[in-house]
Structure 1
């Protein structure tokens, strides 16, 4: 798992986050992704909504990411089935959430999901070599 100093070094070398990086989003063992686009501004109770990351990722072939909803939103009834960001992925992420709680306002720039990064010891075929369906995504991509 990469720590904060390692993440910052990768970013400085032009890797992991290529656009809209914010040092304020660094955590001890990850990076808080911010909302770049959203399908609704007011999230009603019992409703599905989508966001995209403000940050554009540029993961090298030896780094994989794991996504986790920030606990402050999980405690409010927001849930998601988040997974991994494959090594070699480039673009903005689209993420789906469901609100089981009360109405919630979301805004651009809100820290919503934590990205935890891991180094792969023996990289094989990266994202673009396997499927690459969402490579270079911008905004919310529901294809």
Structure 2
């Protein structure tokens, strides 16, 4: 069940859902707007030109209130907000259609597990022929919350728990299958 603005407001007031910093007008009828933070990371060039899943990837990270995303460029960014989800609530990250119509894709894995705490890393990609200027504080997407039918037996406590800033891939930490 997708949560309504009424339920979101109630959870924020009770402290069962935490979002900081947040303005009340970020709450929409069935979502909460997320704003762009000021941390951006790009993958550093590899001597071989190949990224492998079993080795740590190096990133160049900058803090800036403005970032110019070039055509066909990929960058990690972060939300301004820090989230704390209870163990019976999950969320979906969605881009804003007005930005998608400009060629800005928010390629987030799209899922926030119950129990997650941290800023959300966003994967931004510019499919336009023109550069896109990104500014910290700009609303770039929304979180749609859904209540689970029961508390999670194993709430999220993974490698991205508590993350702040544009956090690079930690796929190299995954166990072999």
Q: TM-score, normalised by structure 1?
A: 0.92
Alpha-carbon distance in 1 for matches of 2:123, 2:21:
21
Equivalent position of 2:50 in the other structure: none
Contact kept in structure 1, 2:107 and 2:125, CA below 8 Å: no
Alpha-carbon distance in 1 for matches of 2:107, 2:69:
17
Structure 1 position 33 matched with structure 2 position 34: yes
Alpha-carbon distance in 1 for matches of 2:103, 2:125:
8
Alpha-carbon distance in 2 for matches of 1:103, 1:75:
14
SS in 2 for 1:109: coil
Q: Any residues of structure 2 matched to 1:63-74 within 5 Å, and which?
A: 63-74=89-100
Q: Any residues of structure 2 matched to 1:1-143 within 5 Å, and which?
A: 1-39=2-40, 41-82=67-108, 83-101=110-128, 102-124=130-152, 125-128=154-157, 132-142=158-168, 143=170
Q: CA RMSD in A?
A: 1.3
Structure 1 residue 45, shift from structure 2 partner: 1.1
Contact kept in structure 1, 2:76 and 2:167, CA below 8 Å: no
Contact kept in structure 1, 2:32 and 2:143, CA below 8 Å: yes
Alpha-carbon distance in 2 for matches of 1:15, 1:47:
38
- Name the stretch that deviates more: 57-66 or 7-16: 7-16
- CA distances 1:88-134 after superposition (whole Å, capped 9, x unpaired): 00010111111011211111110001100000011221111xxx111
Structure 1 unaligned residues grouped into runs of 5+: none
The structure with the largest alpha-carbon Rg is 2
Structure 2 unaligned residues grouped into runs of 5+: 41-65, 171-177
Structure 1 residue 12, shift from structure 2 partner: 1.2
Structure 1 residue 15, shift from structure 2 partner: 3.1
Q: How many residues align?
A: 140
* Runs of 4+ with >3 A deviation: none
